[in-house]
Structure 1
Amino acid sequence: MNAQAQAQERAARADARLHTAHELMRDLDLIQRWSAYGEVTVVGSVGIELVVAPDIDLEIRSEEPRVADGFAVMSVLAELPQVRRITYLDARDRHEQGQYWKLEYETPDDMWTVDMWVFGPEALGGGPLTAALQQLLTPASRDTILAIKEEAATRGERAYGYWLYQAVLDGGATSYDEYRDWLGDRNVYERTGWLTDPSSTSPRTK
């Protein structure tokens, strides 16, 4: 199979996963449920439309985040038979500066996870970075990212979100090994101002 055909197959797989993700969000009515408590943004691979792992990321920006609001949303979702597990982490005093909810939803083909972060108005979130990437990614860079993500999955490993995008766009990585070399010992859980912060070292902000 030539490179063009491989790229077309990767894009088709990603589009199918993206379609499933949007169906799941509609079935759970996630945007509407969370909109009662803040502004909802789809971020991560679904927001950028580069879905390989069965994972959805939402951010909820609230003027006054309350733990009770998250429990109100989750208490309804917990009644659904496809919802297998819901977990909560209070990370307001950590570098994430937010409240984290994780929902596991079983489909006939996969166990999907929905990661939901609730932030106050001052916390750094991924919405602006998602918007910037939507503008910057080209068909070629999108295919490179999908290829690296799929290669990681075949190894039983993971290529971490925005660090992968930075490795491809700024570091020129074209394979999973090159991405790992670029990543080095970076803290993959650190929130980043890449592309969105005036102090960003990316050549794309200059």
Structure 2
Amino acid sequence: MNSLKRAFHKKQQAEKILRELQLIEKWNEIGDCFVVGATAYDLIVTPDIDLETFCEEINPARIMKELAVLLGNPNVLELKYYDYSKSDFNGHYFKLVYQVQEVHWTIDMWLFSNTREGALSRDIVPFMKETLTMETREIILDIKEALMKKKQDFSSVFIYQAVLEFGVNNVNDFLEWTITHNTKVPYHWRPKSMYLN
């Protein structure tokens, strides 16, 4: 099984988890929820799901009340909340861990104000879906898997940028690329072609 097929199976698992927990429906009760990151792009390597929700009135306690109900599900192992509103992230973070057999899925959920500016995965989803090809998707997945084997951790946004804007096509070239490019988060990558729109 190649990296594309592995990612496809993980995407199916992610969608099943979202349906079972009705997370998108819960978040849509308070704002506009978007599936972002690797799940949105069919680029899942590690078992992670990312959501961003935007609303007028920030009320973390309201969504925590909804999410706390999920602790009654025997497969939900953990639920945490962090207030990052005074940091560069400028948002509220919720983490849920869900077990599928022996695999622990981490669900990262951010709550932002509608007026928030800066690094938002939501903004690059249309670009990624339109730009990715089977070839570039496989290159990205192969780099992600190679980095995992090497136990080297980089935010996926830098892999996307390196492959799609700089033509990087393997893990060694990516590691060389990181020497001369910013790989610190939070980082707001706006693909060059987005400036033309």
Would the TM-score normalized by the shorter structure come out above 0.5? yes
Looking at structure 2, the residues matched to 16 and 82 of structure 1 have their Cα atoms a distance apart, in angstroms, of 19
The CA RMSD over aligned residues, in Å, is 1.7
Looking at structure 2, the residues matched to 189 and 81 of structure 1 have their Cα atoms a distance apart, in angstroms, of 34
Superposition misfits of 4+ residues, deviation over 6 angstroms? none
Looking at structure 2, the residues matched to 10 and 193 of structure 1 have their Cα atoms a distance apart, in angstroms, of 25
Q: Which residue of 1 aligns with 2:78?
A: 85
Is there any run of 5+ residues in structure 1 with no aligned partner, and where?
Answer: 1-7, 196-201
Maintained 8 Å contact 2:93/2:108: yes
Three-state SS of the structure 2 residue aligned to 1:51 is coil
Q: By how many angstroms is 1:77 displaced?
A: 1.4
Three-state SS of the structure 2 residue aligned to 1:170 is helix
Aligned 1:184-203 pairs, distance under 5 A: 184=179, 186-195=182-191, 202=192
Q: Which residue of 2 aligns with 1:74?
A: 67
The letter for the 2-side match of 1:41 is: F
The letter for the 1-side match of 2:70 is: L
Three-state SS of the structure 2 residue aligned to 1:93 is coil
Looking at structure 2, the residues matched to 133 and 82 of structure 1 have their Cα atoms a distance apart, in angstroms, of 32
Maintained 8 Å contact 2:38/2:49: yes
The structure-2 alpha-carbon separation of the partners of 1:106 and 1:116, relative to structure 1 and needing over 3 Å to count, comes to same
The letter for the 1-side match of 2:5 is: A
Q: By how many angstroms is 1:177 displaced?
A: 2.4
Maintained 8 Å contact 2:127/2:194: no
Maintained 8 Å contact 2:53/2:112: yes
TM-score under structure 2 length normalisation: 0.91
Q: Which residue of 2 aligns with 1:146?
A: 141
Maintained 8 Å contact 1:38/1:62: yes
Identity of paired residues, percent?
28
Maintained 8 Å contact 2:33/2:53: yes
Aligned length: 193
Q: More deviation in 25-34 or 150-159? A: 150-159
Match of 1:132 among 115, 127, 143: 127
Q: Which residue of 2 aligns with 1:119?
A: 112
TM-score under structure 1 length normalisation: 0.87
Q: Which residue of 2 aligns with 1:58?
A: 51
Three-state SS of the structure 2 residue aligned to 1:180 is helix
